[in-house]
A and B are shown apart, each in its own frame.
Chain A
Amino acid sequence: MDDHLIGIVSNIGVISFVALSAYLLLLTGEISFGQQAFFAIGAYTSGIVTAMWQLPFALGLGAGAATGAAAALLVGLPTLRLHGLQFAIATLAFAEAVRILFELFRYQIVRDGELVGPNGIEGFRNIRYIFENDVSATEFMLIIYGLLGATLFGLFLLERSRLGTAFRMIGEDDLLAATQGVAVVPVKLTAACLAGTIAGLGGGLYAHLTTYVEPAIFDVMLGVHSLAYGLIGGLGTAFGPLLGVVIDIGLLESTRWFAGYRMIVFGGLVAVLLIVRPRGLLDEQLVHRIRRAVRRRPRPSPANDTVLGKELS
Protein backbone atom coordinates (compact mmCIF):
# COMPACT_ATOMS: atom_id res chain seq x y z
CA MET A 1 0.00 0.00 0.00
CA ASP A 2 1.26 3.49 -0.76
CA ASP A 3 1.37 6.15 1.95
CA HIS A 4 -1.78 7.90 0.69
CA LEU A 5 -3.81 4.70 0.88
CA ILE A 6 -2.38 3.89 4.31
CA GLY A 7 -3.42 7.39 5.38
CA ILE A 8 -7.00 6.88 4.14
CA VAL A 9 -7.28 3.44 5.77
CA SER A 10 -5.85 4.84 9.02
CA ASN A 11 -8.33 7.73 8.91
CA ILE A 12 -11.20 5.28 8.44
CA GLY A 13 -9.95 3.35 11.49
CA VAL A 14 -9.60 6.41 13.71
CA ILE A 15 -12.93 7.96 12.75
CA SER A 16 -14.58 4.59 13.42
CA PHE A 17 -13.96 5.19 17.13
CA VAL A 18 -16.05 8.35 17.22
CA ALA A 19 -18.69 6.60 15.06
CA LEU A 20 -18.86 3.70 17.56
CA SER A 21 -19.10 6.22 20.36
CA ALA A 22 -22.18 7.87 18.81
CA TYR A 23 -23.58 4.41 18.00
CA LEU A 24 -23.49 3.35 21.67
CA LEU A 25 -25.66 6.31 22.62
CA LEU A 26 -27.97 5.69 19.65
CA LEU A 27 -28.56 2.19 21.07
CA THR A 28 -30.00 3.80 24.20
CA GLY A 29 -32.21 5.97 22.02
CA GLU A 30 -30.25 9.19 22.49
CA ILE A 31 -28.95 11.33 19.68
CA SER A 32 -25.70 13.05 20.57
CA PHE A 33 -24.24 15.82 18.46
CA GLY A 34 -21.38 16.13 20.93
CA GLN A 35 -19.17 13.04 20.70
CA GLN A 36 -16.49 15.13 18.97
CA ALA A 37 -15.94 16.87 22.32
CA PHE A 38 -14.73 13.64 23.96
CA PHE A 39 -12.66 12.92 20.85
CA ALA A 40 -11.06 16.37 21.30
CA ILE A 41 -10.48 15.87 25.02
CA GLY A 42 -8.80 12.52 24.31
CA ALA A 43 -6.68 14.03 21.55
CA TYR A 44 -5.40 16.94 23.63
CA THR A 45 -4.85 14.79 26.74
CA SER A 46 -2.85 12.09 25.00
CA GLY A 47 -0.87 14.73 23.10
CA ILE A 48 0.04 16.45 26.36
CA VAL A 49 1.06 13.13 27.93
CA THR A 50 3.40 12.03 25.12
CA ALA A 51 4.60 15.26 23.48
CA MET A 52 4.94 17.43 26.58
CA TRP A 53 5.41 15.10 29.52
CA GLN A 54 7.35 12.54 27.45
CA LEU A 55 5.45 9.61 28.93
CA PRO A 56 4.85 6.34 27.02
CA PHE A 57 2.34 6.21 24.18
CA ALA A 58 0.17 3.55 25.86
CA LEU A 59 -0.15 5.84 28.89
CA GLY A 60 -1.12 8.71 26.60
CA LEU A 61 -3.88 6.64 24.99
CA GLY A 62 -5.06 5.45 28.42
CA ALA A 63 -5.14 9.01 29.72
CA GLY A 64 -7.09 10.13 26.63
CA ALA A 65 -9.66 7.36 27.13
CA ALA A 66 -9.91 8.05 30.89
CA THR A 67 -10.46 11.80 30.46
CA GLY A 68 -13.03 11.07 27.75
CA ALA A 69 -14.89 8.81 30.19
CA ALA A 70 -14.61 11.33 33.05
CA ALA A 71 -15.90 14.16 30.87
CA ALA A 72 -18.79 11.96 29.68
CA LEU A 73 -19.67 11.21 33.31
CA LEU A 74 -19.67 14.92 34.19
CA VAL A 75 -21.86 15.79 31.21
CA GLY A 76 -24.06 12.73 31.55
CA LEU A 77 -25.04 13.40 35.17
CA PRO A 78 -27.05 16.56 34.44
CA THR A 79 -28.07 15.84 30.83
CA LEU A 80 -29.15 12.20 30.72
CA ARG A 81 -32.43 13.03 32.41
CA LEU A 82 -33.27 14.99 29.27
CA HIS A 83 -34.78 13.29 26.25
CA GLY A 84 -34.77 13.52 22.48
CA LEU A 85 -34.27 17.00 21.11
CA GLN A 86 -33.38 18.50 24.49
CA PHE A 87 -30.59 15.97 24.99
CA ALA A 88 -29.33 16.49 21.43
CA ILE A 89 -29.20 20.27 21.91
CA ALA A 90 -27.48 19.87 25.32
CA THR A 91 -24.74 17.68 23.80
CA LEU A 92 -24.26 20.15 20.94
CA ALA A 93 -23.95 23.03 23.41
CA PHE A 94 -21.43 21.07 25.47
CA ALA A 95 -19.33 20.23 22.41
CA GLU A 96 -19.26 23.85 21.29
CA ALA A 97 -18.31 24.94 24.82
CA VAL A 98 -15.43 22.44 24.79
CA ARG A 99 -14.26 23.65 21.37
CA ILE A 100 -14.28 27.27 22.54
CA LEU A 101 -12.45 26.29 25.74
CA PHE A 102 -9.72 24.72 23.60
CA GLU A 103 -9.55 27.97 21.62
CA LEU A 104 -8.68 29.67 24.92
CA PHE A 105 -6.49 26.87 26.30
CA ARG A 106 -2.78 27.70 26.36
CA TYR A 107 -0.29 25.42 28.06
CA GLN A 108 3.16 25.25 26.53
CA ILE A 109 6.63 24.18 27.59
CA VAL A 110 10.00 24.51 25.87
CA ARG A 111 11.32 21.34 24.26
CA ASP A 112 14.34 21.32 21.96
CA GLY A 113 14.35 25.10 22.03
CA GLU A 114 10.77 25.23 20.77
CA LEU A 115 7.46 25.85 22.49
CA VAL A 116 5.31 22.70 22.51
CA GLY A 117 1.72 22.35 23.66
CA PRO A 118 -1.78 23.65 23.09
CA ASN A 119 -1.73 27.25 21.92
CA GLY A 120 -5.32 28.37 21.72
CA ILE A 121 -6.78 28.76 18.25
CA GLU A 122 -3.46 27.78 16.64
CA GLY A 123 -3.85 24.33 18.12
CA PHE A 124 -1.33 21.79 19.31
CA ARG A 125 1.46 20.86 16.93
CA ASN A 126 4.46 18.58 17.07
CA ILE A 127 2.82 15.51 18.58
CA ARG A 128 5.70 13.62 17.03
CA TYR A 129 5.63 10.31 18.86
CA ILE A 130 5.56 8.20 15.68
CA PHE A 131 8.52 10.06 14.22
CA GLU A 132 10.56 10.22 17.42
CA ASN A 133 10.06 6.50 18.01
CA ASP A 134 10.43 5.36 14.43
CA VAL A 135 6.94 3.90 14.16
CA SER A 136 6.13 3.46 10.48
CA ALA A 137 2.79 4.45 8.94
CA THR A 138 1.94 0.77 8.45
CA GLU A 139 2.80 -0.07 12.05
CA PHE A 140 0.62 2.79 13.31
CA MET A 141 -2.23 1.63 11.07
CA LEU A 142 -1.93 -1.83 12.64
CA ILE A 143 -2.03 -0.29 16.12
CA ILE A 144 -5.23 1.57 15.16
CA TYR A 145 -6.86 -1.56 13.78
CA GLY A 146 -5.63 -3.69 16.70
CA LEU A 147 -7.37 -1.33 19.12
CA LEU A 148 -10.43 -1.03 16.88
CA GLY A 149 -10.66 -4.83 16.74
CA ALA A 150 -10.42 -5.04 20.53
CA THR A 151 -13.11 -2.34 20.88
CA LEU A 152 -15.39 -4.15 18.43
CA PHE A 153 -14.88 -7.41 20.29
CA GLY A 154 -15.78 -5.62 23.54
CA LEU A 155 -18.96 -4.28 21.94
CA PHE A 156 -19.72 -7.73 20.54
CA LEU A 157 -19.58 -9.15 24.08
CA LEU A 158 -21.50 -6.18 25.47
CA GLU A 159 -24.36 -6.64 23.02
CA ARG A 160 -24.75 -10.22 24.19
CA SER A 161 -24.73 -9.26 27.87
CA ARG A 162 -27.56 -8.13 30.15
CA LEU A 163 -26.18 -4.60 29.97
CA GLY A 164 -26.38 -4.62 26.16
CA THR A 165 -29.95 -5.89 26.35
CA ALA A 166 -30.74 -3.09 28.80
CA PHE A 167 -29.26 -0.56 26.33
CA ARG A 168 -31.59 -1.75 23.57
CA MET A 169 -34.59 -1.97 25.93
CA ILE A 170 -34.07 1.66 26.93
CA GLY A 171 -33.58 2.57 23.29
CA GLU A 172 -36.93 1.01 22.38
CA ASP A 173 -38.91 2.46 25.29
CA ASP A 174 -37.27 3.73 28.46
CA LEU A 175 -40.54 3.83 30.39
CA LEU A 176 -41.26 0.21 29.56
CA ALA A 177 -37.66 -0.70 30.42
CA ALA A 178 -38.06 1.00 33.81
CA THR A 179 -41.21 -1.02 34.53
CA GLN A 180 -39.17 -4.16 33.77
CA GLY A 181 -36.70 -3.21 36.49
CA VAL A 182 -34.00 -1.55 34.37
CA ALA A 183 -32.35 1.35 36.20
CA VAL A 184 -32.60 3.72 33.26
CA VAL A 185 -30.38 6.63 34.33
CA PRO A 186 -27.43 4.54 35.67
CA VAL A 187 -27.52 2.33 32.55
CA LYS A 188 -27.59 5.40 30.29
CA LEU A 189 -24.73 6.90 32.30
CA THR A 190 -22.75 3.69 31.78
CA ALA A 191 -23.41 3.93 28.03
CA ALA A 192 -22.30 7.58 28.03
CA CYS A 193 -19.07 6.75 29.91
CA LEU A 194 -18.28 3.86 27.56
CA ALA A 195 -18.99 6.13 24.60
CA GLY A 196 -16.71 8.81 26.10
CA THR A 197 -13.96 6.22 26.62
CA ILE A 198 -14.14 5.04 23.00
CA ALA A 199 -14.18 8.61 21.66
CA GLY A 200 -11.27 9.61 23.93
CA LEU A 201 -9.24 6.61 22.77
CA GLY A 202 -9.95 7.50 19.14
CA GLY A 203 -8.95 11.11 19.81
CA GLY A 204 -5.60 9.98 21.19
CA LEU A 205 -4.95 7.92 18.08
CA TYR A 206 -6.03 10.79 15.83
CA ALA A 207 -3.65 13.26 17.50
CA HIS A 208 -0.72 10.89 17.01
CA LEU A 209 -1.73 10.00 13.46
CA THR A 210 -1.98 13.58 12.22
CA THR A 211 0.66 15.00 14.65
CA TYR A 212 -1.44 18.13 15.19
CA VAL A 213 -4.86 19.08 16.47
CA GLU A 214 -6.69 22.37 16.54
CA PRO A 215 -10.12 23.38 17.87
CA ALA A 216 -11.59 23.87 14.36
CA ILE A 217 -11.23 20.11 13.72
CA PHE A 218 -13.69 19.33 16.50
CA ASP A 219 -16.61 21.46 15.37
CA VAL A 220 -20.19 20.35 14.85
CA MET A 221 -19.38 18.92 11.38
CA LEU A 222 -17.49 16.03 12.97
CA GLY A 223 -20.36 15.47 15.41
CA VAL A 224 -22.93 15.34 12.61
CA HIS A 225 -20.75 12.93 10.62
CA SER A 226 -20.16 10.65 13.60
CA LEU A 227 -23.90 10.44 14.14
CA ALA A 228 -24.56 9.91 10.44
CA TYR A 229 -22.19 6.91 10.32
CA GLY A 230 -24.46 4.86 12.57
CA LEU A 231 -27.57 6.01 10.74
CA ILE A 232 -26.09 5.21 7.31
CA GLY A 233 -24.36 1.95 8.21
CA GLY A 234 -27.16 0.71 10.42
CA LEU A 235 -28.01 0.27 14.07
CA GLY A 236 -28.38 -3.50 14.03
CA THR A 237 -24.74 -4.24 14.82
CA ALA A 238 -21.52 -2.44 15.76
CA PHE A 239 -20.31 -3.11 12.21
CA GLY A 240 -22.99 -0.68 10.99
CA PRO A 241 -21.15 2.51 11.99
CA LEU A 242 -17.93 1.09 10.52
CA LEU A 243 -19.75 0.51 7.23
CA GLY A 244 -20.97 4.10 7.49
CA VAL A 245 -17.40 5.39 7.88
CA VAL A 246 -16.18 3.29 4.93
CA ILE A 247 -19.05 4.61 2.76
CA ASP A 248 -18.45 8.21 3.87
CA ILE A 249 -14.68 8.40 3.48
CA GLY A 250 -14.66 5.93 0.57
CA LEU A 251 -17.32 7.89 -1.27
CA LEU A 252 -15.65 11.22 -0.58
CA GLU A 253 -12.32 9.88 -1.79
CA SER A 254 -13.82 8.32 -4.91
CA THR A 255 -15.78 11.42 -5.93
CA ARG A 256 -12.88 13.83 -6.10
CA TRP A 257 -14.00 15.06 -9.50
CA PHE A 258 -16.90 16.80 -7.71
CA ALA A 259 -14.22 18.87 -5.90
CA GLY A 260 -15.85 21.39 -3.53
CA TYR A 261 -19.33 20.05 -4.33
CA ARG A 262 -18.57 16.60 -2.91
CA MET A 263 -20.27 17.31 0.41
CA ILE A 264 -23.47 18.40 -1.35
CA VAL A 265 -23.52 15.17 -3.35
CA PHE A 266 -22.73 13.20 -0.22
CA GLY A 267 -25.49 14.96 1.75
CA GLY A 268 -28.00 14.12 -0.99
CA LEU A 269 -26.99 10.46 -1.00
CA VAL A 270 -27.34 10.28 2.79
CA ALA A 271 -30.81 11.84 2.61
CA VAL A 272 -31.92 9.31 -0.03
CA LEU A 273 -30.44 6.44 1.95
CA LEU A 274 -32.23 7.47 5.13
CA ILE A 275 -35.56 7.67 3.27
CA VAL A 276 -35.08 4.20 1.78
CA ARG A 277 -33.59 2.60 4.91
CA PRO A 278 -34.44 4.71 7.98
CA ARG A 279 -32.38 2.55 10.38
CA GLY A 280 -29.42 2.22 8.06
CA LEU A 281 -28.08 -0.46 5.75
CA LEU A 282 -27.35 -3.04 8.46
CA ASP A 283 -30.57 -2.49 10.40
CA GLU A 284 -31.91 -4.82 13.08
CA GLN A 285 -34.12 -6.76 10.64
CA LEU A 286 -31.31 -7.47 8.20
CA VAL A 287 -28.92 -8.47 10.99
CA HIS A 288 -31.61 -10.79 12.38
CA ARG A 289 -32.17 -12.34 8.92
CA ILE A 290 -28.41 -12.84 8.45
CA ARG A 291 -28.09 -14.50 11.88
CA ARG A 292 -31.06 -16.75 11.15
CA ALA A 293 -29.62 -17.73 7.76
CA VAL A 294 -26.27 -18.57 9.37
CA ARG A 295 -27.99 -20.70 12.02
CA ARG A 296 -30.04 -22.56 9.36
CA ARG A 297 -26.95 -23.75 7.51
CA PRO A 298 -27.09 -27.57 7.69
CA ARG A 299 -24.39 -29.22 9.71
CA PRO A 300 -23.23 -32.78 9.19
CA SER A 301 -24.78 -34.85 11.93
CA PRO A 302 -23.42 -38.15 13.29
CA ALA A 303 -26.62 -39.88 12.10
CA ASN A 304 -26.02 -38.80 8.49
CA ASP A 305 -22.42 -39.92 8.68
CA THR A 306 -23.54 -43.35 9.80
CA VAL A 307 -26.08 -43.70 6.99
CA LEU A 308 -23.60 -42.58 4.36
CA GLY A 309 -21.02 -44.88 5.86
CA LYS A 310 -23.40 -47.84 5.49
CA GLU A 311 -24.25 -46.93 1.91
CA LEU A 312 -20.59 -46.75 0.95
CA SER A 313 -19.79 -50.03 2.58
Chain B
Amino acid sequence: MIAVPGFLLSLLVAMVLSGSGLAAGVKAKAEVSCAATAKSLEYDCAIKLSDQRSGAALTGVDVTVGADMPSMPMAHNVKPVKAVPDSAAGTYRARILLEMHGDWAVKVDLAGPVRDRIVKSMRFEPKP
Protein backbone atom coordinates (compact mmCIF):
# COMPACT_ATOMS: atom_id res chain seq x y z
CA MET B 1 0.00 0.00 0.00
CA ILE B 2 2.87 2.36 0.86
CA ALA B 3 4.32 1.73 -2.60
CA VAL B 4 1.38 3.54 -4.19
CA PRO B 5 2.06 7.05 -2.81
CA GLY B 6 5.77 6.42 -3.21
CA PHE B 7 5.25 5.69 -6.86
CA LEU B 8 2.97 8.70 -7.30
CA LEU B 9 5.40 11.05 -5.59
CA SER B 10 8.34 9.79 -7.61
CA LEU B 11 6.20 10.23 -10.72
CA LEU B 12 5.55 13.82 -9.66
CA VAL B 13 9.22 14.51 -9.03
CA ALA B 14 10.14 12.92 -12.34
CA MET B 15 7.54 15.00 -14.13
CA VAL B 16 8.62 18.23 -12.47
CA LEU B 17 12.24 17.54 -13.31
CA SER B 18 11.44 16.26 -16.78
CA GLY B 19 10.97 19.75 -18.21
CA SER B 20 13.95 20.58 -20.31
CA GLY B 21 14.33 23.82 -18.41
CA LEU B 22 15.00 25.52 -21.71
CA ALA B 23 12.85 28.53 -22.23
CA ALA B 24 11.25 28.32 -25.63
CA GLY B 25 12.94 30.79 -27.96
CA VAL B 26 9.65 32.13 -29.17
CA LYS B 27 6.96 33.83 -27.16
CA ALA B 28 3.83 34.09 -29.22
CA LYS B 29 1.67 37.14 -29.48
CA ALA B 30 -1.79 37.04 -31.02
CA GLU B 31 -4.22 39.60 -32.30
CA VAL B 32 -7.69 38.12 -32.47
CA SER B 33 -10.78 39.66 -34.02
CA CYS B 34 -14.07 37.85 -34.49
CA ALA B 35 -17.02 38.79 -36.67
CA ALA B 36 -20.50 37.29 -36.55
CA THR B 37 -21.49 35.12 -39.50
CA ALA B 38 -24.99 34.63 -40.90
CA LYS B 39 -25.48 31.64 -38.59
CA SER B 40 -26.63 32.50 -35.09
CA LEU B 41 -23.84 32.46 -32.46
CA GLU B 42 -21.21 31.52 -35.05
CA TYR B 43 -18.17 33.78 -35.31
CA ASP B 44 -15.42 33.93 -37.87
CA CYS B 45 -12.16 34.70 -36.07
CA ALA B 46 -9.05 36.10 -37.69
CA ILE B 47 -5.84 35.44 -35.79
CA LYS B 48 -2.56 37.17 -36.44
CA LEU B 49 0.41 35.46 -34.83
CA SER B 50 3.85 36.94 -34.28
CA ASP B 51 6.86 36.46 -32.07
CA GLN B 52 6.62 38.96 -29.24
CA ARG B 53 10.39 39.29 -29.07
CA SER B 54 11.33 39.67 -32.75
CA GLY B 55 7.98 40.69 -34.21
CA ALA B 56 8.34 38.05 -36.97
CA ALA B 57 5.18 36.40 -38.26
CA LEU B 58 4.66 32.84 -36.98
CA THR B 59 4.04 30.49 -39.88
CA GLY B 60 3.62 26.71 -40.10
CA VAL B 61 2.08 26.50 -36.66
CA ASP B 62 -0.82 24.18 -35.73
CA VAL B 63 -3.39 26.56 -34.34
CA THR B 64 -6.55 25.57 -32.46
CA VAL B 65 -9.09 28.00 -31.11
CA GLY B 66 -11.37 27.30 -28.16
CA ALA B 67 -13.24 29.42 -25.64
CA ASP B 68 -14.39 29.26 -22.03
CA MET B 69 -16.94 31.35 -20.24
CA PRO B 70 -14.95 32.62 -17.24
CA SER B 71 -18.04 32.91 -15.03
CA MET B 72 -18.85 29.26 -15.73
CA PRO B 73 -15.54 27.50 -16.43
CA MET B 74 -16.00 24.02 -17.87
CA ALA B 75 -19.80 24.42 -17.86
CA HIS B 76 -19.87 26.53 -20.99
CA ASN B 77 -17.00 26.07 -23.39
CA VAL B 78 -16.33 25.75 -27.07
CA LYS B 79 -14.80 22.55 -28.35
CA PRO B 80 -11.46 23.66 -29.88
CA VAL B 81 -11.49 23.97 -33.65
CA LYS B 82 -8.48 23.90 -35.94
CA ALA B 83 -7.59 27.21 -37.56
CA VAL B 84 -6.50 27.27 -41.19
CA PRO B 85 -3.71 29.51 -42.54
CA ASP B 86 -4.94 32.63 -44.29
CA SER B 87 -3.33 34.46 -47.22
CA ALA B 88 -0.94 36.70 -45.28
CA ALA B 89 2.02 35.20 -43.39
CA GLY B 90 1.22 34.45 -39.76
CA THR B 91 -2.54 34.85 -40.19
CA TYR B 92 -5.08 32.11 -39.54
CA ARG B 93 -8.87 31.80 -39.57
CA ALA B 94 -11.23 29.71 -37.45
CA ARG B 95 -14.99 29.53 -37.00
CA ILE B 96 -16.26 29.06 -33.49
CA LEU B 97 -19.82 28.31 -32.42
CA LEU B 98 -20.64 29.79 -29.03
CA GLU B 99 -23.33 28.57 -26.70
CA MET B 100 -24.51 32.06 -25.79
CA HIS B 101 -23.54 35.70 -26.03
CA GLY B 102 -21.49 37.31 -23.31
CA ASP B 103 -17.91 37.49 -22.05
CA TRP B 104 -15.67 34.67 -23.23
CA ALA B 105 -11.99 33.87 -22.79
CA VAL B 106 -10.82 32.88 -26.28
CA LYS B 107 -7.90 30.45 -26.10
CA VAL B 108 -5.49 30.21 -28.99
CA ASP B 109 -3.32 27.09 -28.65
CA LEU B 110 -0.19 26.72 -30.73
CA ALA B 111 1.52 23.40 -31.44
CA GLY B 112 4.23 22.19 -33.76
CA PRO B 113 7.34 24.36 -34.13
CA VAL B 114 5.98 26.77 -31.50
CA ARG B 115 4.11 25.61 -28.41
CA ASP B 116 2.23 28.30 -26.54
CA ARG B 117 -1.19 29.51 -25.44
CA ILE B 118 -2.62 32.98 -25.72
CA VAL B 119 -5.83 33.89 -23.92
CA LYS B 120 -7.93 36.87 -24.98
CA SER B 121 -10.96 38.18 -23.12
CA MET B 122 -13.64 39.06 -25.64
CA ARG B 123 -17.26 40.12 -25.49
CA PHE B 124 -19.60 38.58 -28.04
CA GLU B 125 -22.87 40.38 -28.54
CA PRO B 126 -25.81 39.75 -30.85
CA LYS B 127 -25.84 41.51 -34.19
CA PRO B 128 -27.51 44.92 -33.87
In the bound complex, CA of A139 to CA of B76 (Å): 26
Chain A residues contacting B75 (CB-CB under 8 Å) are 221, 225, 252, 262-263, 266
A4 lies within 8 A of B74 (CB) = no
Taking the complex as formed, is B23 at the interface, i.e. its CB lies under 8 A from any CB of chain A?
yes
Q: How far is the CB of B36 from chain A (nearest CB, A)?
A: 16
A133 lies within 8 A of B74 (CB) = no
Chain B positions 58 through 75: 1 when the CB is less than 8 Å from some CB of chain A, otherwise 0: 000000100010111111
Nearest chain B residue, comparing its CB with the CB of A132: B23
Taking the complex as formed, is A131 at the interface, i.e. its CB lies under 8 A from any CB of chain B?
yes
A249 lies within 8 A of B119 (CB) = no
Q: How far is the CB of B101 from chain A (nearest CB, A)?
A: 9
Pull 29 A–B residue pairs with CB atoms less than 8 Å apart, ordered by A.
A3-B80, A3-B111, A7-B80, A56-B16, A112-B27, A113-B53, A122-B121, A128-B117, A133-B20, A133-B21, A134-B22, A134-B115, A135-B18, A140-B15, A146-B11, A149-B4, A150-B5, A211-B117, A212-B119, A214-B70, A214-B121, A216-B70, A217-B71, A221-B72, A252-B75, A256-B79, A259-B100, A260-B76, A263-B72
Q: How far is the CB of B124 from chain A (nearest CB, A)?
A: 12
B24 lies within 8 A of A217 (CB) = no
B8 lies within 8 A of A11 (CB) = no
Nearest chain A residue, comparing its CB with the CB of B97: A259
Nearest chain B residue, comparing its CB with the CB of A148: B8
Chain B residues contacting A135 (CB-CB under 8 Å) are 15, 18-19
Chain A residues contacting B5 (CB-CB under 8 Å) are 149-150, 153-154
Q: Which residues of A contact B (CB under 8 A)?
A: 3-4, 7, 11, 15, 56-58, 112-114, 122-123, 125, 128, 130-135, 139-140, 142-143, 146-147, 149-150, 153-154, 210-212, 214, 216-217, 219, 221-222, 225, 249, 252, 256, 259-260, 262-263, 266
Taking the complex as formed, is B99 at the interface, i.e. its CB lies under 8 A from any CB of chain A?
yes
Given A146-B15, A249-B74, 7 more pairs with CB closer than 8 A: A4-B79, A131-B117, A143-B16, A149-B5, A150-B12, A153-B5, A263-B72
Given contacts A147-B12, A150-B12, contact A131 B24 (CB under 8 A): yes
Q: How far is the CB of B108 from chain A (nearest CB, A)?
A: 11
* B68-125 interface (Cβ within 8 A of A): 68, 70-76, 79-80, 99-100, 103, 105, 109, 111, 115-117, 119, 121
A212 lies within 8 A of B105 (CB) = yes
Checking A4, A56, A131, A146 against B9 with a beta-carbon cut-off of 8 angstroms, the contacting residue is A146
Given contacts A122-B121, A132-B23, A133-B19, contact A216 B64 (CB under 8 A): no
In the bound complex, CA of A219 to CA of B4 (Å): 35
Q: How far is the CB of A232 from chain B (nearest CB, A)?
A: 14
Chain A residues contacting B37 (CB-CB under 8 Å) are none
Chain B residues contacting A212 (CB-CB under 8 Å) are 105, 119
